Amino acid sequence: MALVLATTILGVPGTAVADPVYGTQSIAYSGVANPPTSDKPQSKLWWNDGSWWADMWTSGAGWSIYRLDRTSNSWVDTGVVNDTRGSTLADTLWDGTHLFIASHVVTVSTDGSPKPSLSGQPAKLYRYSYAAGKYTLDPGFPSTITNNSSESMTIDADSVGGVWATWTQVGGNSTSGFTNTVYVNYSTNNGATWGTPFVLPVASPNPAPDDISAVVAFGGGQIGVMWSDQLTDTMWWATHADGKPANANWKLQPAIRGNGQADDHLNLKTLQADPSGRVFAAVKTSLNDTSSDKTLPQLLLLVFKPGTGAFTQSTIATTGDCVSRPQIVLDTQNNLVRAFHTAPPTSVAGCAFSGVAGSIYEKTASMDNPVFGSGRGTPIMQAASSSNINDVTTSKQSVNNATGLVVMASDNVAKRYWFSDRPLGGTPPPAGQAPVASFTANPTTGTAPLNVTFTDTSTNTPTSWAWDFGDGGTATVQNPAHSYAAAGTYTAKLTATNSTGSSSATATISVTSTPPPPTSGGITVVNANTANSGTAVTTASLAVPAGTSAGDVLVAAITVDLNPGLTAPAGWTAIVNGQSINASSTSGARAYAFYKVVGASDPATYNWILSSAAKWGGGITAYRGVNNTTPLDSPVVTAADTSYSATSITVGSITTATNGAMLIGGVGCDCSAPVVTAPSGWTERWEAAAGQVAEQADKTQATVGSSGTATWTLSAARAVAAWQTALKPAA
């Protein structure tokens, strides 16, 4: 009687009760250390050439590429094996031309039982080309992303041919304590070679040992990284524009914060064809641990809207629904967000704790107004007698009536895959029809450099896209962005392809050489470059910005670690000559700034010589319309705060002597992560990081007189120096 009573209270069925079966039981697996459909941010499925494919564990062989045979409702092994290590998990990406599989060795760390990441356990990227129904590993692959294990790793491709990866890495020990750090790495050449992994350069990259991160490409030209941070009760969001240095120029904001708002469950998706570039994130709160109120949100949908720079949120399910491990898919056919999660079987009303394995449920809401109904949702995967299905996984891609919907999970007790495959309704495109290519370009005219966003509008469901921008640039993502550096008339061409055939469309892009409107008094900005060294060197090299010509004036600023002297190249004049930021042989930094009038045969790169090896960061801006005889219109003023507690620094006013002067100034920081925001009304031209932070900005002053003070703000407390002067117009 006591057993029956306890069973009734918990809502657990008796052993003789069989639950209804939903979904399809699939292949058995053995020899893999973790549930093969995990981890939470990762995707194991993709759609290509009229079929669904998956990266699945094959007992005795390793991770293999499978194809779903919808006729027999079964997964077919293609015989293409990637990683044979049973200690790994993977994230997959199909970009329309290549299949990427990022496979990492797993070390699961919890707050109660933290485990350091292991060195000598490389995460590998496999890249495959596809033709005639077969995947072939590209030469030179796999490449190595990092040499350390991690709990999770995700990848995505940007609009300029690069691949990004993020993961969290736990260090330390039980004596000194454990730390967790958000890491990122970037490959500029489509995944072939990777740089050195780096800590995400933001103010809060150290969450709890249990936390994880994920990466997503969005808006046709940006990358975003989200991570959970249970130490600060925050889900953080950092964004980066494509084409900028990978380890600089990140912008940080909270996606959501507050007591109990963070947990180590998140899944990111974006709708690449959406002109607004929205990002959808399914996250789990820990409110079930902080309150007994069953109406509080357990799973949330966060929607980032780049136009406003803000997140909205809506509840997917409450703590009373006892759900966990959310995933989402974007359904363009029905304009729906489809959310999937684990909850107890349909015969169970409650549960002992959130996160218990059981069955997989689906809930839906409009992408434009995501309001989800109450309850767990509709069951889509459930066994009759084994309540252990968990770790649902999906595709990064959006779905429609042509693709249908396939999701997968695993029963890690019975050691079986499960999946659900169903149509989404609507009328599919006529069978056997090639795409009708079309696209929009915005803008189609303007001055160089002209940044253009391309949006695919092709019909009949293309599965791959080949872009030729007419200036030698190409892309294979659906909705790329491209910058035209030189004046000319270019024909941009899209070739859209599916399994039946292909077609092409073109558009004309007109780029003029007319300089941008003068910022003041005839002074214009030509271009800018930045560089850095995260290791100690004795030479700081800065390339001349593109488009620079004789008579232009270059302004360079460099921050060097510790206390070295800096010898400038011939022809350069010091503006700030070694401003100390608490500099010594063991700490601090020094800030330098210089100017030079460009001659008829100047080199393409200038080298500053350090008196001793040190890390550095710097940049260079080219200005046109500056007086070549007396480039500076006023003396320089400087300021420094060496307390390491400054969150802003103010430089005193200068007095300009010429109408149309260009105020210029910058910051040097004893830090390696970008933290600087230029003064109100100023335009930041660049910010260098990794070695030491240097930053430079400018502002028009139309009439002579006092400039007023200039205040730079910092996103974290630092030791910092700043300077301000002005350039004199030529006329």
Dihedral of alpha carbons 712, 718, 721, 727, sign: negative
The pLDDT score that the predictor gives to residue 353 is: 67
The pLDDT score that the predictor gives to residue 432 is: 59
Task: Provide the 10 A C-beta neighbour count for residue 683.
Answer: 12
Helix, strand, coil percentages (3-state) for the chain, rounded to 5, are 0, 55, 45
At residue 233, the 3 state secondary structure works out as coil
The H-or-E segment that residue 3 falls in is helix 2-10
The pLDDT score that the predictor gives to residue 718 is: 86
DSSP H helical ranges for 630-723: none
The pLDDT score that the predictor gives to residue 14 is: 40
Cα–Cα distance measured from residue 213 to residue 248, given in angstroms and rounded to the nearest whole number: 18
410-435 as b/e, with b when 16 or more CB fall inside 10 Å?
Answer: bbbeebbbbbbbeebeeebbeeeebb
**Pair 23, 381: CB distance under 8 Å:** yes
pTM here is: 0.62
DSSP H helical ranges for 50-197: none
Cα–Cα distance measured from residue 58 to residue 154, given in angstroms and rounded to the nearest whole number: 22
Residue type, 378: T
Q: CA 539, 541, 547 angle in degrees (round to 5)? A: 165
Tell me the pLDDT tens digit for each residue of 116-129. Answer: 999 999 999 999 99
Report phi then psi at 8, rounded to 5: -65, -40
Tell me the pLDDT tens digit for each residue of 500-516. Answer: 778 888 888 888 875 44
**Pair 384, 359: CB distance under 8 Å:** no
The pLDDT score that the predictor gives to residue 22 is: 92
> How far is C-alpha 224 from the chain's CA centre?
3
Residue type, 365: A
**Pair 341, 357: CB distance under 8 Å:** no
Cα–Cα distance measured from residue 376 to residue 519, given in angstroms and rounded to the nearest whole number: 57
| Token code pair at residue 468 | 């030729």
**Pair 574, 593: CB distance under 8 Å:** yes
HSE of 583, CA atoms in CB hemisphere, 13 A: 21
Low-confidence ranges of the chain (pLDDT < 50): 1-16, 273, 428-429, 515-521
Q: Residue 662 has what DSSP assignment?
A: E
The pLDDT score that the predictor gives to residue 77 is: 96
Cα–Cα distance measured from residue 484 to residue 200, given in angstroms and rounded to the nearest whole number: 29
Cis peptide before 443 (omega within 30 of 0): yes
Report phi then psi at 562, rounded to 5: 65, -130
CA dihedral 648, 652, 656, 662 (to 10 degrees): -10
Tell me the pLDDT tens digit for each residue of 223-281. Answer: 999 999 999 999 999 999 988 899 998 999 999 998 888 888 887 777 554 556 889 99
